[in-house]
Amino acid sequence: MTSQDRSPFMTHADPAAFPDSSYLLGDLLAERFTCRAYRPEPVADAVIDRMLELAQMSASWCNTQPWNVIITQGQATERFRAALFAEASSDKHEAQPDIDYPQSFPGIHAERRREVGWQLYDSVGVQRGDRAASAKQALENFRLFGAPHVALIYCERELGPYGAIDCGVYLGTLMLAAQSLGLGMTPQAALAGHSALIRRHFAVPDNLMFVVGAAFGHADHDHAANGFRSRRAPVEENIRKLRD
């Protein structure tokens, strides 16, 4: 199956009108998904290094390349997973991200958020109104969905929102790099609520702010949590094209 078969944005296009590289990128974008269950075996060092080399080519403002990234494997992942899950499971924990979470999700944003949430719950058998089951599934974030690795992305506090934007661009490139190598990846804003724990655990200096995490590894394609794909809105819902 090609990107033309999967993408609602390619149905009107003449296949001969664009270079092959456009369709290669389309395939990567169409195949990528947020992985929510992993096989336990680690990713080979050479594959991780290639993923990071590709992501390093990400664009940034004035080529500042502000991302600072921690990559875990082996016992480093397991120790972090245990500490993170213990804090997330505590009734006493209050989220304290370095970058404020959204105050709300208005209108269509809330609708899209609910839609993908119910897609996940339906896939794993969580019934509507079952708060205990939904809370248990939410805690999988803090088990890193069983991934053998996690990337933790920081930038200098002095760079402010634009440094964080560059880190977001880096994460997008990192996800496509992972996809190109046959890996699954999970962008995890949920980890930001545990930035103080992460700072202590990895001895991160105070001049760096935590932006986002991303668990990664070999996706478990047989797991129910990986059995759905989120919908993309038509381009016209997001874009205004002006001529005059």
**Triad 40, 41, 43: Cα angle to 5°:** 125
Q: Which domains does the chain carry? A: 37-102+143-223 (3.40.109.10)
Higher per-residue pLDDT: 183 or 16: 183
Q: Which pLDDT score is estimated for 185?
A: 98
What's the pLDDT tens digit per position in 84-127?
999 999 988 889 999 999 999 999 999 999 999 999 999 999 99
d(CA 87, CA 94): 10
pTM for this prediction: 0.92
Q: What is the distance between the alpha carbons of residues 113 and 33, in angstroms, rounded to a whole number?
A: 15
Q: DSSP assignment, residue 206?
A: T
Contact 211, 160 (CB under 8 A): no
Beta bridge partners of 150: 215
Are 195 and 211 within 8 A, CB to CB? no
List the strands of the sheet with 68-71, edge to edge: 68-71, 149-156, 208-217, 184-188
Q: Scan for tokens 């939904």, then name that residue.
A: 134
Give 74's DSSP letter: T
